Every structure is written in structure tokens, then in C-alpha cells.
């Protein structure tokens, strides 16, 4: 436990950038420095932070209490604080002593899904702020854990408060796994498609937010495994720490198993036989820049019933519609927006919200800047796409390593001895 | 030092990390928005829907006549004008469209499934369980296998999510049956391996948490994942390790830990090490191997009671080291001396022990090492191991 706490302030990039001088000084002239200079780690802190954040979410980290030598082995990848923690919280505290870890993971994986339909002007504002994925990208991390306690009354009227309640923001047709072509009969979206084991998803970027593909889950976890094997954690510190590790228990959970579990439960496909991925509510968003806001809201509402946002006929369409007006703090007049908002409430009832956002792009050097937290519940396909996007092409990883003068060593030794 | 490192790291992150930034005021606005959305709109709406469906559909289904009839039959007279347009409506008057494989969303079965799912998402596992259980029978009558599998899966999960203790009998009678039915239907009838894997995984994790006998069941389901070939190579290695973790979760009774499954757990850890090695994942293999040695009680250099396994462990250890060194381009230069020395030391401990003690062992078991360990009964395992060895590792 203590070793992993010690390791907690370390972030992956340290290992990437500083390992030669601080962590393992004697390595500098060794042939291994070629590994350190791989673009994979060295020039790519963002990639390592991705590996860190996807695998090391505070509340679902398997169990820091039962950390195996791996804790020291890949502090960057598994046990460092994700962006959510912003390095201020020791990751070991958050989940230590939570023996019922998989139960929490399950609790947090079957949560209400909320679809997002935004007007073009809304997406413009959000994209100008630097969120290329539009309103969904902006909202998604915030839905994963609702701040504060959420009180729920059960069927017999007893109330219970939960601190870990969350929702999943999705695109309207995300869970379908196959593109919903307008005009196509919705029933043609085969229920089997949602199963996604072999068809769809893999090539279509638009629908990579659907999970349910075992092959992709394997691939994503394998990517993390490869990364951890490549980390310059070393036999030395590994063994040293291993000797002092007091807290081994027999049932410790591998962080990679937890990752596998999480990816298995991420991006639940939309299918007729269960309704977890069916929207419980739909957010219909416009911005204060819209010239004819009420008409636009009506049009968007209509599109969820008959238009291209209409879900297949086996999805119950009577979900809540929630209307959001995004007020552009920089370019719009708040009194006008308030008036419009009052009008919205008159037309559409109480399920409305006025969301005030600055439309300028925030840059890291600004005083009051915060990095957008990374999503915990990425589908495996999304995670793979993210890894690719951040500069490493999956298949090239291994060959790159091998080409870097390791080949000669790897093959004659024949790692696999049976 | 750490602080400096952190600063440097963050600086490095800032330069290249493409993740967008937000103003604090935006963050506050968004968090407020989400909280309001959930607490003032989504939860109340879901609660209201649950109550309505519960009252309108579920209680009717539970009523006197509902007990003897499935929903479809009972409701058909009223819903015939809705469903008669469907060309595939089966003659039995069911609401299930067997050709397209779904219930219309306004059919009572579909609403009940939605009710059950809402209840589950609102963490009302009792209501969820009773609803899924009712749905199970209805779906069987309609031969809606995918729906049936889904209801059985979630019935088992709801029952296990309920924190109340579960009597052994009801666990074996109901939950095992449901898990079995769900995984079979998903995998065989519906060719939906993803859902089969999800069913088994959820089931085994929740059973494992219950410990005791349930952990044995958990291990069985984990082994089922492997047997059914639901996972690829990475999953295979992970789930192999998981079988071991399930066995290890079963604590023994009393100071001698009677009935613990330490040797079974250790064997599966060895198998996991083997699986990792096949994937060239030396680090993982090593972890599994360490786990196995701890479970066998061979941590402090003590010998194993069976030499075959001891030798096999040694071989695996060597293979792991070779693999790790190879992967790191280790060429044995002088500056790496410390590292090399450390490595040597560890492998020596292992090598030494079998040589020192091999002759004195009574367990002259023949055959391949894996079978030896597999034949070890749990009682014998606990019996053989002196208590003090256990004390070291718990």
C-alpha cells in the first residue's frame, strides 16, 4: 500500500521524460536508452496520460490495497491519478479498503442513458471552444458522476442517497452500432447488429461509441498491456519493492482485469431485449445565437419523433425531452436570453435549463483553466481510436520496438519455452 | 522532489495533450446543469414511470388471474388491433414478433422489461428481481430466447446485487439455473457471445464477493468462460487468473483454514502465468507466478510438497526472466550489474529450494506436474499446509 502511495504523484510523462536522468540514471548509456527514445513514450506524454487515465479511474481502481508489484511497475499507466484527480488526490486513498469493488463497477455501468440532440449553432459554439466532438464531448465526462448525493425513492417509498450516481450522455443513435440511414425502415436495423461481435463498428468512426465487441475489448486491453511491458520500470525497483510489499492478498485483482471488465460494460449496445441503452431522456439544445429559437426547438423535437433522430420502432419513444438554452456569455445579451428562457418554460414546461458558457476557447495558460476530464466509460473502439489519435499506430508499435535493435535479442532467446 | 517532478510533468502534458480546456466558470455551470438534470428531472421521471408501470402492469400480472396467464394471453383481446397488422404475429396470440425479434414498445412485456431496467438503474434490486423473474416465464412461453436470456441474466444479477445474505439452497437452485440458462441461450440460441460473456462475468464477480461456497461457484463460472471459448487470448489469460482469484477468495474455516482452496488457486495462477508467457507478457506472467508461489507457501524459499510443480515453477520463472530481459534488450553490460545481480538472486532462491529438498519429499508423484496439482483435493491441501505458512501470507 505504501509503495503505491509513494508512486502516486508520479505521472507517466515523468517516466517518459525524466527516467534517464532521475529515475534510473545509470541507464543513460545503456543500450536500453534506445527504448527510452521511442517516440511512443518520449514525445508522447499525452499518450501516456491516456493510458493512465483510462486504466486508473479513482473509484474503480481494482484495489490499491492489494497492489501487486505492478503498482510500482507501471505507476504511470495504472496507478497514477487520472486527469479527473488532477494530481491533487492520492489515488490510493480513494479505493483502498473497498472490498466490493466489482459491485461498484456494476452499479456504475448500468445507468440511465441520456441522448443529446443539438442545433447547428450550438455545435458551432462548442466546436469553437475546442471540442471537436460537439456538445456530447463537452457534456459526457460530467455525466459520469453527478456531484453530490442523489436521493432515490424505491417502490415501497423508502429513500436512499447515493454518492456515486451517474448518467451516460450519448449521441441519439450511438448504441445502434450501425448507421441509421434516414428513410430506411428502422426495423431493418437488425437487433443482431447491436451485438456487434463481428459486424460494424470497427471501421465506422461514427459509431465507435458502441461497445459489445469482444475483439475490440481484447485489443484495447492488449494495448495497455503492451504499454505496461514497455515501461522502463525495471527489474531493480520492481524486485526491491516486491520484497517490502506487505499487503499481498490472494485475491488481488489485476488492473487489467478491471479494465477488461470496464470495457465489457462500456458502451452497452442498444438492442430490443434490454432497455439499459435506450434513452431515458433526450437533451434538446439550442444556443442564444439561434435566430428562431422556439421553432428550432420544435423542429429538433420533431426529429426525435419522425426525423433522422428517430430510433428504431422497438425503442419506446416516450422518453423525457429536456430543453437546454446555451447562452453565449461573450456575444449574447443575458437579458434577451433570460426572456427567451422564460418563453421556453412557458412552451415546454419545467424541464428546461439555461446553461451559460463562455464561447472563447480556453487555453491551458489561462488562470482559471481546467482540463476536460477524460471519460471513464469509453467503448473499446473509442479507446483504440483515441490511442491512435494520440500518435501511435497500433500495429506499428510492436514492429517499432522490434526494429529498435531488440529484434536480435528477442528471437534467439525464444521467450516462449514449453 | 515529487513536486518538481509533478510540475515538470504537467508542463510536459500541457504542451502536447490535445484534451481541451475549460474555464472554471464553465465547469461550475456544467456541473450544476448535470446535477439539476439528474435530481430534478431524470430521477423523478424514472420514479414516476416505475410507479405507474408497477401499478398498471405488474400488479395486474401479479393478481389472481395474472398468476395463471402470461401477459400476452391476458392482454391480447385489447391489443389485437395493434398487433394484428403485423404479418408475423404468431397464432398463439403472443405480443412477440418472432420474425423481427422484438416486442412492440407498448406491449406489456416491453413495458415490464423497461420497468425492471428502471428499477435496476435506480438500484431497487428487489423490484427488479421480481419483475425479471416474471418476465422470464413470459419470454419462455413466447420462445423469445434473447429476451429470455436477458431476463434470466438480470434476474441473477439483481438477486446477487441485493446485499441481503442468500441461503445456499436458493443460490444453487435459482441463481445457478438462471446464469446457466442465460449464458446458454445467449451463446447457443442467439449467437450472442458478448452477452454470454457479460452474464458469466457479472455472475462470477458477484458470487466471488460473497465468498465461502459462492466463491467455488464463481470459479466454476470463470472456468466456463474459458471452456466456452468466449474470450480471445488476452481474455483467456485474464480469466485464467480470475479462476484462481475466485478460489483464493474462499477463506478456510478455523485456524487451520479447513476447506480453503489455496492449492487450486495456486494452480490456476500457474496456468495464468503460462498463458501470459505465451503472449510475451512477461510482467503479467511474473505477477501470476509470484501469486502462485505465495499461495503454495513457497514464498520464503520453502519447497513445494510436490517436486514436479516445483520444477515447473522454476522453469516458468526462468522463462519469464528470459522474456523480460529479451524484451528490454538486456545485454549484460557492467553497468547493469545491480540489476542482473538482483535477477540472479531471485532465480537462485527458486533453484536452490528444489535441489535442497527434493529427495526428502514424500510426495513422489509421477506424471506431468499440472495433473499432480490438479488432483490435490482441497481438504488435503489445507491439511498438508502447516498453519504457520499461512500466517505469513495473509
**C-alpha cell of B190?**
442467439
Residue B157 near residue B203 (C-beta atoms within 8 A): yes
Whether A199 has a pLDDT exceeding 90, the answer reads: no
* Pair (A82, A16) in one structural domain: yes
**What is residue A56's predicted lDDT score, i.e. its pLDDT?**
43
A320 - beta bridge partners? A281
Instruction: Work out the pLDDT band at A263, boundaries 50, 70, 90.
Output: very high
Distance CA A377, CA A263 (A): 7
**What is residue B330's predicted lDDT score, i.e. its pLDDT?**
55
Distance CA A114, CA A133 (A): 16
- What is the count of structural domains for chain A? 2
Distance CA B16, CA A50 (A): 12
**What is residue B299's predicted lDDT score, i.e. its pLDDT?**
62
The rounded Cα A153 to chain-centroid distance in angstroms is 29
| Domain range for A177 | 113-195+274-357
Cα distance from B93 to chain A (closest Cα, Å)? 19
Query: Does B203 contact A at CB distance below 8 Å?
Result: no
- Render the burial of A123-137: b for 16+ CB within 10 Å, e for the rest: bebbbebbbeebbbb
**What is residue B187's predicted lDDT score, i.e. its pLDDT?**
93
Percentage with pLDDT > 90 across chain A = 37
Distance CA A108, CA A119 (A): 30
CB proximity under 8 Å: B 331-350 to A: 331, 333, 335-336, 338-339, 342-343, 346
* Pair (A13, A162) in one structural domain: no
Residue B148 near residue B139 (C-beta atoms within 8 A): yes
Q: Is residue A93 part of a domain?
A: yes
Whether A261 has a pLDDT exceeding 50, the answer reads: yes
Cα distance from A291 to chain B (closest Cα, Å)? 24
Nearest to A102 among B209, B238, B284 (CB): B209
In this complex, do A45 and B191 lie within 8 Å of one another by their Cβ atoms? no
In this complex, do B21 and A150 lie within 8 Å of one another by their Cβ atoms? no
pLDDT in tens, A125-163: 999 998 988 999 999 999 998 999 999 998 888 999 999
CB proximity under 8 Å: B 46-65 to A: 46-47, 50-51, 54
* Pair (A154, A293) in one structural domain: yes
**What is residue B71's predicted lDDT score, i.e. its pLDDT?**
53
Distance CA B46, CA B51 (A): 8
Distance CA B140, CA B126 (A): 22
Query: Does B83 contact A at CB distance below 8 Å?
Result: no
Instruction: Work out the pLDDT band at A416, boundaries 50, 70, 90.
Output: very low
Distance CA B226, CA B334 (A): 45
**Quick one: closest CA in B to A43, which residue?**
B16
**What is residue B89's predicted lDDT score, i.e. its pLDDT?**
41
Could you tell me the CATH number of the domain that includes residue A309? Answer: 3.40.50
Query: What is the rounded average pLDDT of the residues A203-215?
Result: 70
Q: Which of A104-108, A274-278, B192-196, B302-306 has the lowest mean pLDDT?
A: B302-306
Q: Rg of the Cα trace of chain A?
A: 24
Contact list in B for residue A218 (CB cut-off 8 A) is: 231-235
Whether A213 has a pLDDT exceeding 50, the answer reads: yes
Whether A295 has a pLDDT exceeding 90, the answer reads: yes
Query: What is the rounded average pLDDT of the residues A349-367?
Result: 89
Cα distance from A343 to chain B (closest Cα, Å)? 19
Whether A196 has a pLDDT exceeding 80, the answer reads: no
Q: Is residue A202 part of a domain?
A: no
CB proximity under 8 Å: A 321-340 to B: 322, 324, 329
**What is residue B292's predicted lDDT score, i.e. its pLDDT?**
86
- Residue B59 burial class via C-beta count within 10 angstroms: exposed 0-12, middle 13-18, buried 19 and up: exposed
Whether A407 has a pLDDT exceeding 80, the answer reads: no
Residue B329 near residue A34 (C-beta atoms within 8 A): yes
* Pair (A147, A57) in one structural domain: no
* Pair (A327, A221) in one structural domain: no
Q: Is residue A372 part of a domain?
A: no
pLDDT in tens, A304-335: 998 888 999 999 999 999 999 999 998 999 99
Cα distance from A44 to chain B (closest Cα, Å)? 7
**C-alpha cell of B136?**
422470464
Cα distance from A306 to chain B (closest Cα, Å)? 16
**What is residue B192's predicted lDDT score, i.e. its pLDDT?**
92
Nearest residue to B263 (alpha-carbon basis) of B392, B386, B379, B393: B379
* Pair (A21, A152) in one structural domain: no
Nearest to A372 among B22, B230, B277 (CB): B22
DSSP symbol at B71: H
Which of residues B133 and A185 earns the better pLDDT score?
A: B133
Suggest the residue from B25, B48, B121, B159 to mutate for an interface test with chain A (most A CBs closer than 10 A): B121
Instruction: Work out the pLDDT band at A50, boundaries 50, 70, 90.
Output: low
pLDDT in tens, A36-47: 333 443 345 556
Q: Is residue A293 part of a domain?
A: yes
Suggest the residue from B285, B328, B331 to mutate for an interface test with chain A (most A CBs closer than 10 A): B328
The rounded Cα A216 to chain-centroid distance in angstroms is 15
Residues of chain B with pLDDT under 70: 1-18, 63-93, 252-258, 298-305, 328-394
Locus of grid cell 479505493: A95
Query: Does B209 contact A at CB distance below 8 Å?
Result: yes
In this complex, do B126 and A154 lie within 8 Å of one another by their Cβ atoms? yes
Coil vs helix vs strand at B106: coil
**What is residue B324's predicted lDDT score, i.e. its pLDDT?**
77
**What is residue A232's predicted lDDT score, i.e. its pLDDT?**
59
- Residue B84 burial class via C-beta count within 10 angstroms: exposed 0-12, middle 13-18, buried 19 and up: exposed
Whether A191 has a pLDDT exceeding 70, the answer reads: no
**C-alpha cell of A46?**
499525452
**What is residue A178's predicted lDDT score, i.e. its pLDDT?**
53
Distance CA A293, CA A118 (A): 12
* Pair (A232, A284) in one structural domain: no
Distance CA A25, CA A30 (A): 10
Distance CA B144, CA A242 (A): 53
Distance CA B7, CA A215 (A): 38
Distance CA A388, CA A113 (A): 27
Distance CA B235, CA B241 (A): 10
Beta carbons within 8 Å of B52's beta carbon, 6+ residues apart: none
* Pair (A78, A10) in one structural domain: yes
Beta carbons within 8 Å of A411's beta carbon, 6+ residues apart: none
Nearest residue to B177 (alpha-carbon basis) of B221, B130, B115: B221
* Pair (A126, A172) in one structural domain: yes
SS (H, E, C) chain A: CHHHHHHCCCCHHHHHHHHHHHHCHHHCCCCCHHHHCCCCCCCCHHHHHHHHHHHCCHHHCCCHHHCCCHHHHCHHHHHCCCCCCCCCCCHHHHHCCCCCHHHHHHHCCCCCEEEEEECHHHHHHHHHCCCCCHHHHHHHHHHCCCCCCEEEECCCCCEEEECCCCCEEEECCHHHCCCCCCCCCHHHCCHHHHHCCCCCCCCCHHHCCCCCCHHHHHHHHHHHHHHHHHCCCCHHHHHHHHHHCCCCCCCCCCHHHHHHHHHHCCCCCCECCECCCCEEEEEEEEECCCCCHHHHHHHHHHHHHCCCCCCCCCCCCCCEEEEEEEEECCCCCHHHHHHHHHHHHHHHCCCEEEEEECCCCECCCCCCEEECCCCCCCCHHHHHHHHHHCCCCHHHHHHHHHHHHHHHHHHHHCCCCC
Cα distance from B356 to chain A (closest Cα, Å)? 23
Amino acid at each position: 500500500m505504501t509503495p503505491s502511495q509513494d508512486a502516486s504523484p508520479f505521472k507517466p510523462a515523468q517516466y517518459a521524460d525524466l527516467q534517464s536522468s532521475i529515475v534510473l540514471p545509470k541507464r543513460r548509456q545503456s543500450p536500453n536508452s534506445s527504448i527510452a527514445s521511442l517516440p511512443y513514450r518520449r514525445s508522447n506524454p499525452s499518450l501516456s496520460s491516456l493510458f493512465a487515465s483510462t486504466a486508473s479511474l479513482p473509484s474503480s481502481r481494482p484495489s490499491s490495497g492489494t497492489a501487486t508489484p505492478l503498482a510500482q511497475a507501471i505507476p504511470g499507466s495504472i496507478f497514477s491519478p487520472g486527469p479527473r484527480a488532477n494530481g491533487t488526490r492520492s489515488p490510493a486513498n480513494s479505493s483502498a479498503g473497498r472490498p466490493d469493488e466489482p459491485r461498484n463497477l456494476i452499479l456504475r455501468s448500468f445507468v440511465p442513458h441520456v441522448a443529446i440532440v443539438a442545433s447547428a449553432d450550438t455545435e458551432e459554439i462548442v466546436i469553437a471552444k475546442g471540442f471537436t466532438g460537439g456538445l456530447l464531448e463537452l457534456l459526457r465526462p460530467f455525466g459520469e458522476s453527478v456531484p453530490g448525493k442523489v436521493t432515490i425513492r424505491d417502490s415501497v417509498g423508502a429513500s436512499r442517497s447515493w454518492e456515486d450516481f451517474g448518467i451516460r450522455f450519448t449521441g441519439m443513435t450511438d448504441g445502434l452500432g450501425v448507421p441509421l440511414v434516414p428513410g430506411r425502415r428502422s426495423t431493418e436495423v437488425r437487433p443482431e447488429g447491436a451485438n456487434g461481435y463481428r459486424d460494424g463498428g470497427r471501421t465506422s468512426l461514427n459509431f465507435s461509441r458502441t461497445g459489445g465487441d469482444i475483439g475490440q475489448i481484447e485489443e484495447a486491453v492488449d494495448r495497455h498491456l503492451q504499454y505496461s511491458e514497455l515501461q522502463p520500470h525495471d527489474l531493480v525497483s520492481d524486485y526491491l519493492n516486491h520484497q517490502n510489499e506487505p499487503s499481498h492478498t490472494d485475491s488481488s485483482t489485476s488492473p487489467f482485469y478491471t479494465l477488461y471488465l470496464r470495457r465489457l460494460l462500456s458502451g452497452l449496445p442498444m438492442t430490443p431485449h434490454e432497455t439499459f441503452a435506450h434513452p431515458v431522456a433526450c437533451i434538446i439544445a439550442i444556443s442564444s445565437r439561434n435566430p428562431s429559437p422556439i421553432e428550432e426547438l420544435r423542429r429538433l423535437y420533431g426529429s426525435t419523433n419522425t426525423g433522422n433522430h428517430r430510433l428504431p420502432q422497438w425503442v419506446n419513444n416516450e422518453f423525457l425531452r429536456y430543453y437546454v438554452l446555451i447562452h453565449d456569455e461573450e456575444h449574447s445579451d443575458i437579458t434577451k436570453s433570460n426572456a427567451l428562457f422564460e418563453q421556453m418554460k412557458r412552451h415546454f414546461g419545467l424541464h428546461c435549463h439555461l446553461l451559460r458558457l463562455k464561447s472563447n476557447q480556453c487555453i491551458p495558460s489561462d488562470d482559471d483553466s481546467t482540463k476536460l476530464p477524460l471519460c471513464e466509460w469509453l467503448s473499446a473502439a473509442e479507446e483504440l481510436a483515441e490511442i491512435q489519435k494520440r500518435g501511435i499506430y497500433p500495429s506499428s508499435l510492436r514492429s517499432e520496438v522490434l526494429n529498435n535493435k531488440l529484434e536480435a535479442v528477442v528471437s534467439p532467446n525464444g521467450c516462449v519455452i514449453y | 522532489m515529487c513536486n518538481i517532478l509533478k510540475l515538470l510533468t504537467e508542463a510536459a502534458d500541457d504542451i502536447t495533450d490535445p484534451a481541451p480546456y475549460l474555464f472554471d466558470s464553465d465547469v461550475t455551470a456544467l456541473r450544476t446543469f448535470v446535477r439539476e438534470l439528474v435530481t430534478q428531472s431524470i430521477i423523478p421521471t424514472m420514479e414516476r414511470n416505475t410507479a405507474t408501470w408497477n401499478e398498471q402492469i405488474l400488479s395486474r400480472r401479479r393478481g389472481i388471474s395474472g398468476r395463471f396467464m402470461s401477459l400476452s394471453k391476458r392482454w391480447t383481446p385489447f391489443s389485437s388491433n395493434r398487433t394484428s397488422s403485423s404479418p408475423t404475429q404468431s397464432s398463439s396470440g403472443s405480443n412477440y414478433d418472432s420474425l423481427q425479434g422484438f416486442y412492440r414498445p407498448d406491449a406489456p412485456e416491453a413495458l415490464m422489461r423497461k420497468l425492471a431496467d428502471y428499477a435496476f438503474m435506480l438500484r431497487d434490486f428487489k423490484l427488479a428481481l421480481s419483475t425479471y423473474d416474471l418476465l422470464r416465464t413470459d419470454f419462455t412461453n413466447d420462445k423469445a430466447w434473447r429476451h429470455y436470456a436477458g431476463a434470466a441474466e438480470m434476474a441473477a444479477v439483481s438477486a446477487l446485487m441485493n446485499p441481503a445474505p442468500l441461503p445456499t439452497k436458493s443460490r444453487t437452485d435459482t441463481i445457478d439455473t438462471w446464469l446457466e440458462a442465460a449464458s446458454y441461450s445467449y451463446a447457443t440460441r442467439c449467437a450472442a457471445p458478448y452477452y454470454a460473456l457479460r452474464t458469466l462475468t457479472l455472475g462470477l464477480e458477484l458470487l466471488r464477493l460473497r465468498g465461502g461456497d459462492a466463491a467455488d461457484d464463481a470459479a466454476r463460472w470463470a472456468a466456463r468462460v474459458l471452456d466456452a471459448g468466449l474470450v480471445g487470448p488476452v481474455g483467456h489469460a485474464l480469466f485464467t487468473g480470475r479462476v484462481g482469484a475466485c478460489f483464493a477468495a474462499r477463506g478456510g474455516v478455523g485456524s487451520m483454514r479447513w476447506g480453503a482452496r489455496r492449492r487450486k488457486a495456486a494452480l490456476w495462477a500457474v496456468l495464468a502465468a503460462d498463458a501470459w508467457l505465451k503472449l510475451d507478457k512477461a510482467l503479467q506472467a511474473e505477477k501470476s507466478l509470484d501469486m502462485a508461489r505465495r499461495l503454495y507457501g513457497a514464498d520464503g524459499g520453502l519447497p513445494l510438497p510436490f517436486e514436479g510443480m516445483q520444477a515447473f515453477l522454476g522453469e516458468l520463472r526462468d522463462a519469464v526472466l528470459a522474456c523480460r530481459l529479451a524484451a528490454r534488450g538486456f545485454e549484460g553490460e557492467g553497468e547493469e550489474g545491480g540489476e542482473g545481480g538482483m535477477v540472479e538472486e531471485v532465480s537462485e532462491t527458486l533453484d536452490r529450494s528444489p535441489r535442497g529438498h527434493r529427495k526428502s519429499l514424500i510426495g513422489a508423484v509421477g506424471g506431468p506436474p499440472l495433473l499432480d496439482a490438479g488432483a490435490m483435493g482441497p481438504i488435503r491441501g489445507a491439511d498438508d499446509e502447516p498453519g504457520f505458512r499461512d500466517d505469513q501470507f495473509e
